[in-house]
Structure 1
Amino acid sequence: MKSTNFVICIENSEYPASLEKRKIYEAIPDADAAKHGQVRVVDESGEDYLYPSECFVDANLPEATRAAVVKAA
């Protein structure tokens, strides 16, 4: 099973229509974005976009929780 990364939004003042504070988002690996201080996430639109990395923290979910979140998607 492919490992899915998740982040939690901690700041959305610049993106209130796209991001919700305290919500878990799927993060898509993007090395180029990381070099520029950005993270690629699947937002409220269902599409992936780049956002400043300071808007998020790593979710570090236990494996059972991660699997449940992936299954619920």
Structure 2
Amino acid sequence: MALEFVVCLRKDDTGDFSGDDLQLGRLYELVEKDAGHGMLRIIDESGEDYLYPQSWFDSVALSLAASEQLAKALPHR
């Protein structure tokens, strides 16, 4: 199964959401594309999966080979 990734474009601190565990321009593994209420679930810098606003990210298209290689290389897999 191919992994999906998003790139972080914003990390505003907006009340309940903190961007402390995000880096602008970095790719993050997408765990759940539509987690409801305009949110998505990613694995952030903490190594855990958390909900973040979809507006902070954009999807990234990777080849199947690149996705599989990253799946093998990621420490949390």
For Structure 1 versus Structure 2, the TM-score category normalised by the shorter chain is 0.7 to 0.9
**Corresponding residue for residue 51 of structure 1:** 52
Percent same amino acid at aligned positions?
A: 36
Q: Secondary structure of the equivalent of 1:51?
A: strand
Which of 22, 28, 31 aligns to 1:28? It is 31
Structure 2 unpaired stretches of 5+? none
SS in 2 for 1:44: coil
- TM-score under structure 1 normalisation? 0.82
Query: What is the alpha-carbon distance in structure 1 between the residues aligned to residue 53 and residue 8 of structure 2?
Result: 11
TM-score (norm 2): 0.78
Larger helix percent: 1
Aligned to 1:12: 11
- Superposed CA RMSD in Å reads 1.5
